[in-house]
Amino acid sequence: MKSFFAIAAGLLAASASVFAASGPSNPGYISKYSLPANHSTETKEYIVTWWRNDTDARKIDDYVDLLQLSKTDSVQAVSSEGVNPQWAVIIMCAEHAKIFADMAEINVVEEKADVKSFAEQQGAPWGLQRVSSAAGAKGSPQDQDFVYSFDDSALGAGVDIYVIDTGVRTSHAVFTGRASEGFTATGSFVDGDGHGTHVAGTAGGAKFGVAQGANIIEVKVLGDDGSGASSDTIKGMDWVIANHNKRKAQPGFVGSIMSMSWGLQGTANSVDEIIQGASDAGIHVSVAAGNDGVDACGSTPAHLGGKNSNVVTVGSVNIDNEISTFSNIGQCVDIYAPGEQILSSWATGDAVINFLSGTSMACPHVTGVMATLMTKDVAGLGQNPAALKAKLLETARQGDVKGNTAGSANLLLSNGVDGNVARRLTKNYVVPDHSGLNGSPAARAAAAVIAKDITLDKRFQLHSREAKLRF
């Protein structure tokens, strides 16, 4: 990395002196300058990232002073100590942003972008049998007499799964005391949307989840409407990286996974850089492919998947192994997993469950399998994203996905079990049909339970059997 700051001469006032560089012990500096009197007064939030492994980066105070900005008013957030690459969120005008962009040690300068969670529909939890049976899960996805098979009872114990989403109802019964509050960008840890709680339940909840021994850590970066800002996702991932670095020295720690069931309309280089920084730190990353039925290579973070990355991008299939009509496809998709009609935990109560669909639901299935693979080979896979991705794809069932993959590998998620039942984890969650019933889906379900004496497990209450597709 260069040991000086390069600034476009046209942006400096005529009276400003040119930068001066010194020896290796001093990374150099830029002179103070005056912006033109008629420069823009309109300011926006910009995300600035330094090059990874840059040893010459100065403290943010130095940049603010040299650029004559007010740290109190302009600097919204900065990276934690030890996080690589360094980053900052700064309120400034376009002229200031251009000067930052021209500095040699700066990699990305871009405006804050909006982030939305992926979407869902109606369904039932057949996914556990699909990932653990060579024969798959046959019949109607509304039938709940499915079996989860596995060959290692640890089921992800010692793995930290960071659910970067709308929040997690950590008190929910399915988390059996393994869920904790980690970080919030909104000031509240309440999951007012439900999306994050559902995702967390599939990744590691009892009965409905894959890695039922893993730690679930809430990282709330999206609001109660399921949307947020790219800068908030960066803040959340920064916290994850810093916490992962602390956890590495603690006994019993296996490794970390960031599970991210959200995406942008387009790409954001700053978010990409922090995700890459997390991977470089030894954190595994699984992301949803998106629900627009298009090429996954067109949006962050889905486009980070593929052959040349350690990030795992996940598409969705239905119970018949057919690619979901909503699922994004293409060369950036690494693997397909159950994503339609999935039953998992819900945020409106500690015993409430709900049906959702989307690549958001496929992603945590992969997260859970990643966690279970890590516990079976801690030394080889625990903190080696490249090795774990290779193992995950090697373990997948080849050629079982039906439909047009548009160039992606034809790989279906598997935990490596051949379908022999090792342990039965799910009960018969019967969902009544609509016959002769009126009202909302929830009302129909409740009426059928009373009329036909059909019950879910006594500990759980069905929220709804239908949900609209989002994003």
Pairing of strands 262-263, 114-117: antiparallel
Query: How far, in Å, CA of 134 to CA of 153, rounded?
Result: 20
Model confidence band, residue 60 (pLDDT cutoffs 50, 70, 90):
confident
Q: Look at residue 166 and tell me whether its pLDDT is greater than 80.
A: yes
Q: How many CB atoms lie within 10 A of CB 246?
A: 10
Q: What is the pTM of this model?
A: 0.80
**CA of residue 418 relative to chain centroid, distance:** 29
Sorted by where each starts, the structural domains of the chain and their CATH numbers stand as 9-111 (3.30.70), 116-412 (3.40.50.200)
- 453 three-class SS: coil
Q: pLDDT at position 64, please?
A: 80
Q: Look at residue 448 and tell me whether its pLDDT is greater than 90.
A: no
Q: Look at residue 270 and tell me whether its pLDDT is greater than 90.
A: yes
pLDDT in tens, 367-417: 999 999 999 999 999 999 999 999 999 999 999 999 999 999 999 999 998
Q: pLDDT at position 67, please?
A: 76
Q: pLDDT at position 462, please?
A: 65
Q: How many CB atoms lie within 10 A of CB 376?
A: 15
316 vs 112 pLDDT, higher one: 316
Local structure of residue 248 (DSSP, 8 states): T
Where is 444: in which H helix or E strand?
helix 441-452
Nearest alpha-carbon partner for 357 in 92, 206, 141: 141
150 vs 273 pLDDT, higher one: 273
Exposure class string for 380-394: b at 16+ Cβ within 10 A, else e: ebbbbbebbbebbbe
Q: Look at residue 59 and tell me whether its pLDDT is greater than 60.
A: yes
Model confidence band, residue 36 (pLDDT cutoffs 50, 70, 90):
low
pLDDT in tens, 97-146: 888 888 888 899 998 887 766 432 233 368 998 998 888 888 767 666 78
437 vs 80 pLDDT, higher one: 80
Query: How far, in Å, CA of 397 to CA of 319, rounded?
Result: 15
Give the range among 13-17, 35-39, 205-209 with minimum mean pLDDT.
13-17
Q: Look at residue 430 and tell me whether its pLDDT is greater than 60.
A: no
Which tokens belong to 302? Answer: 């889905």
Catalytic residues: 165, 195, 360
Q: How many CB atoms lie within 10 A of CB 99?
A: 23
Q: Look at residue 11 and tell me whether its pLDDT is greater than 60.
A: no
Q: Is 401 left (phi over 0), alpha (psi -120 to 50) or beta?
A: beta
Nearest alpha-carbon partner for 253 in 226, 282, 233, 229: 282
Q: pLDDT at position 197, please?
A: 97
Exposure class string for 263-288: b at 16+ Cβ within 10 A, else e: bbeebbebbbbbbbbbbebbbbbbbb
Query: How far, in Å, CA of 11 to CA of 35, rounded?
Result: 8
Torsion angle (degrees, nearest 10) of CA 419, 424, 425, 427: 110
Unique residue bearing structure tokens 């943010």: 60
pLDDT in tens, 330-349: 999 999 999 998 999 999 99
The mean pLDDT value of the chain amounts to 81
Query: How far, in Å, CA of 366 to CA of 373, rounded?
Result: 11
* Contact (CB, 8 A) for 35 and 20: no
Model confidence band, residue 34 (pLDDT cutoffs 50, 70, 90):
low
**CA of residue 460 relative to chain centroid, distance:** 27
The Cβ-side half-sphere exposure at 77, using a 13 Å CA radius, reads 20
Report percent pLDDT > 90 for the chain: 56
Q: Look at residue 312 and tell me whether its pLDDT is greater than 80.
A: yes
**Bridge partners for 397 per DSSP:** 412
Exposure class string for 352-375: b at 16+ Cβ within 10 A, else e: bbbbbbbbbbbbbbbbbbbbbbbb
DSSP H helices in 377-414? 378-381, 385-395
